């Protein structure tokens, strides 16, 4: 699929407090191999040749970012995040000029295991088809709908996907969709849900299930295992080690 290479901007929402992680700092500042999760995430995105700018949305009380090496990175800019993830993403969108960056990617700070080949697949699919899209992984287990801890039904698995990030859209389409959805007080948990709200199309691009979001305490050891495995077996990632 031929597509024109253009400069891309990424927004990284990193203003959460990581409540479910139960750590003594926001989870994006926990370390894997002596490096914060946020730095792992940013380093991978910054190593992509088309990604020219990375906007990180930080919490108002963030006292950790300044202690990382990220502020020294030429591609990195910061904004104040908001109450919900979508507010943090919108804060990033507000400082992007769509003429300079007609397409934007959004990637969770808490997903440090993103492989460059998955990032490539997303960018290629979106630009070649001229339709936004998300990395996603097909559901593997039999899915049940439950109520009060009793099974109500089996849900057809064939059509179900886990929505991951990055999610990539034309900058103006994403901003307009989020603003409309917020005005209507719709529940927006990812960029695709804002696009769905406004009736837009999104492609599902199959991703490695290694692209986990660190959410609960157990996920930290799993992410470390995945990163070390990728470093030893996969030349397709770059890390400053
Ligand atoms: N995020 C954000 N602004 C918010 C809430 C979340 O930028 N107001 C970011 C988080 O920092 C994270 C990403 O959105 O990188 C995904 O959110 P999640 O995994 O839910 O992180 P937290 O909200 O920090 O965790 P928890 O829900 O357990 O508190
Ligand atoms: Mg959250």
What is the per-residue pLDDT across 199-213, written as a single tens digit (0 to 9) for each? 999 999 999 989 999
Q: Any bridge partners for residue 153, and if so which?
A: 145
> What domains can be seen in the chain, in order of their start residue?
8-229 (3.90.550.10)
Ligand 1 proximity of 18 Cβ (cutoff 6 Å) = yes
Query: Per-residue confidence at 234, pLDDT binned at 50, 70, 90?
Result: low
- At 90 the pLDDT is 98
Mean pLDDT, residues 67-94 taken together: 97
- The answer to whether residues 55 and 96 touch, using CB atoms and an 8 Å cutoff, is yes
pLDDT digits (tens, 9 = 90+) for 180-194: 999 999 999 999 999
Residue 5 CA to residue 55 CA, distance in Å, equals 20
Ligand 1 proximity of 16 Cβ (cutoff 6 Å) = yes
pTM: 0.96
- The answer to whether residues 8 and 123 touch, using CB atoms and an 8 Å cutoff, is yes
Q: State in Å: Cα 203 to ligand 2 middle.
A: 24
Q: State in Å: Cα 130 to ligand 2 middle.
A: 30
Ligand 1 proximity of 157 Cβ (cutoff 6 Å) = no
- The answer to whether residues 142 and 160 touch, using CB atoms and an 8 Å cutoff, is no
- At 241 the pLDDT is 41
Instruction: Tally the residues of the chain.
Output: 241
Query: Per-residue confidence at 227, pLDDT binned at 50, 70, 90?
Result: very high
Task: Tell me which residue has tokens 């949305």.
Answer: 57
For residue 21, the SS3 value is: helix
- At 207 the pLDDT is 96
């Amino acid at each position: 699929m031929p597509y024109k290479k253009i400069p891309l901007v990424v927004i990284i929402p990193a203003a959460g407090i990581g409540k479910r992680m139960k750590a003594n700092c926001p989870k994006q500042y926990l370390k894997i191999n002596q490096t914060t999760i946020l730095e792992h995430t940013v380093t991978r995105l910054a190593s992509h040749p088309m990604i020219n700018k990375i906007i990180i949305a930080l919490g108002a009380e963030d006292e950790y970012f300044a202690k990382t090496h990220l502020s020294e990175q030429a591609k990195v800019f910061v904004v104040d995040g908001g109450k919900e993830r979508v507010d943090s993403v919108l804060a990033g969108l507000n400082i992007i000029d769509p003429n300079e960056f007609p397409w934007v990617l959004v990637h969770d700070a808490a997903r440090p295991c993103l492989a460059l080949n998955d990032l490539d697949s997303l960018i290629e699919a979106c630009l070649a088809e001229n339709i936004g899209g998300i990395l996603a992984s097909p559901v593997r287990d039999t899915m049940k709908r439950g109520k009060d801890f009793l099974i109500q039904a089996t849900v057809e698995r064939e059509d179900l996907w886990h929505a991951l990030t990055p999610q990539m859209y034309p900058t103006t389409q994403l901003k307009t969709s989020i603003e409309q959805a917020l005005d209507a007080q719709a529940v927006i948990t990812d960029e695709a849900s804002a696009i769905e709200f406004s009736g837009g199309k999104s492609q599902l691009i199959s991703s490695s299930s290694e692209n986990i979001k660190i959410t609960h305490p157990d996920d930290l050891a799993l992410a470390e295992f995945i990163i070390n495995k990728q470093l030893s077996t996969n030349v397709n990632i770059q890390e400053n080690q």
